[in-house]
Amino acid sequence: MGGTTQTVCVRCRVTGRVQGVFFRASTVDKARELGLTGYARNLADGSVEVYARGGAGAVETLKTWLWEGPRYARVDAVVCMSAEPEDHRGFGVR
């Protein structure tokens, strides 16, 4: 199995000033750049939920990026946990 990359799935909740600052759109851009599938969506409590599926390295890169977010975001916390695989075509906003 040389050269194969393990596929992982995570669901992350990002809190702080993450709505109204293009966080979801920027997450979509980054995830697509990394070849991930999934989504980013606003939650009623003001946080953003991100579901990502793809190679372990790419998912880790996205998780690190979530701590930065776009220019005007202020990220207070990122909590990620393993998730069950879901079928998504590409990466989008919900």
For the chain, domains (ranges, CATH) are 7-85 (3.30.70.100)
Active site residue 42: yes
The answer to whether residues 30 and 23 touch, using CB atoms and an 8 Å cutoff, is no
The one catalytic residue among 42, 53, 71, 74: 42
Q: What is the mean pLDDT of each run of 10 residues along the chain (94 residues)?
A: 75 98 98 98 98 97 97 97 93 96
User: Could you give the C-alpha distances from 43 to 2, 8, 15, 19, 23, in angstroms and in order?
Assistant: 40, 23, 10, 9, 12
pLDDT at 30 (0 to 100): 98
Active site residue 11: no
pTM above 0.85, yes or no: yes
pLDDT at 4 (0 to 100): 56
Local structure of 23: helix, strand or coil: helix
Please name which of 77, 73, 88 lies closest in space to residue 12, comparing C-alpha atoms. 77
The one catalytic residue among 13, 24, 32, 89: 24
